[in-house]
Amino acid sequence: MLKVAIIIGSTRSHRLGERVAQWVELASKEMKDWDITVLDLKKISLPFYDEISVPAEMDRKYPNPKVQAWSKSIEEADAYLIITPEYNHSVPAPLKNAIDWLYPEWANKPAALVGYSTSSTGGARAIEHLRNILATLAVATVRTGLTIGRAQDIIDEKGTCKDENLNKVLRTEFTQLDDWGRAMSSLLKKK
């Protein structure tokens, strides 16, 4: 079993991210050896980073119970599927904040990225920023980065994606995440 955490990066009311997440979650169930958990940053509702120390020096000892729960969820996962919108050519602040809160929990695991936006660029720039951010935390992002341009027209409210190519690319990403998740699992045993 590979423990995969799907992280929903938008926390906005009436967010488009919900239908994107529905699509990804539904498709991910085809991966029979995956144990999937959805981590919705809106529900998790983390405070903005406000500690005296930096996460790399906190040895997972976070005073805030919400952060403790977040730490446990990220620690438990073997691989991440991160869904991000694009805000001003980057990731939304709540996603960056959620990433910043932790440090050792992320290390030596793979991530697959799904970006979307209401314009034709489909979150491509957010995805590229996210790759750099995650590299600092020793998270290896798989090669395929899925971008959904004009996501409001491509994925309906029930999470059905009309675009056959996107459906294919998503499965390719799953395979890449699965391969790296299994390959990197030996590193997690050493922790």
Q: Which of 37, 45, 68, 119 binds ligand FMN (CB under 6 A)?
A: 119
Does position 23 interact with ligand FMN (CB under 6 A)? The reply is: no
Does position 10 interact with ligand FMN (CB under 6 A)? The reply is: yes
Q: How many residues bind ligand FMN (CB under 6 A)?
A: 14
Q: How far is the CB of 178 from ligand FMN (least distance, A)?
A: 26
Q: How far is the CB of 168 from ligand FMN (least distance, A)?
A: 23
Residues 62-81 that bind ligand FMN (CB under 6 A): none
Residue with tokens 């438990």: 76
Q: Which is nearer to ligand FMN, 10 or 71 (CB)?
A: 10
Does position 115 interact with ligand FMN (CB under 6 A)? The reply is: no
Distances (CA, A) of 79 to 9, 111, 139: 16, 6, 9
Q: Which is nearer to ligand FMN, 2 or 127 (CB)?
A: 127
| Of 37-45, 100-108, 118-126, 135-143: span binding ligand FMN (CB under 6 A) | 118-126
Does position 101 interact with ligand FMN (CB under 6 A)? The reply is: no
Quote the tokens at residue 37.
């958990």
Interface with ligand FMN (CB under 6 A): 10, 12, 15-17, 85-89, 117-119, 121
